[in-house]
Amino acid sequence: MHESLELTRFTVHPGAEAAFLSGRDAAMRALSKRFPGLLDATLVRLSSGEYLDSVRWASHDEAQHAMEGAMALPEVAAWFIHISEVHSMEHASVLHVLREVR
């Protein structure tokens, strides 16, 4: 079974960026505690001003399970209120990861 990469592209409500960024750590920690299949998460801001969230899961089933239950976590719900629009969300099978570069 392959790891799964969840890629979500979205925008944040105007004026909510500071609250959005400050709530990220609590949301990801709550998600990781409830769904241990979360391996890592990286948030980037694109040159367009949109955000891209890359979340790596132990499997597609783990990602699906988290999608179904994430909003029940207060920290995640509080973080999501800052998102104005989700433009895309995709899951991909991870085929290769280079974990060490020397």
Expressed as residue numbers, the domain containing 57 is 4-93
pLDDT tens for residues 37-66? Answer: 999 999 999 999 999 999 999 999 999 999
The answer on pLDDT for 99 being more than 90 is no
Q: What percent of the chain has pLDDT over 90?
A: 93
Q: Identify whether the C-beta of residue 89 lies closer than 8 Å to the C-beta of residue 6.
A: yes
Q: Identify whether the C-beta of residue 60 lies closer than 8 Å to the C-beta of residue 91.
A: yes
The answer to whether residue 11 sits within a structural domain is yes
Residue 30 burial (CB count, 10 A): 18
The CATH code of the domain that includes 30 is 3.30.70.100
The answer to whether residue 77 sits within a structural domain is yes
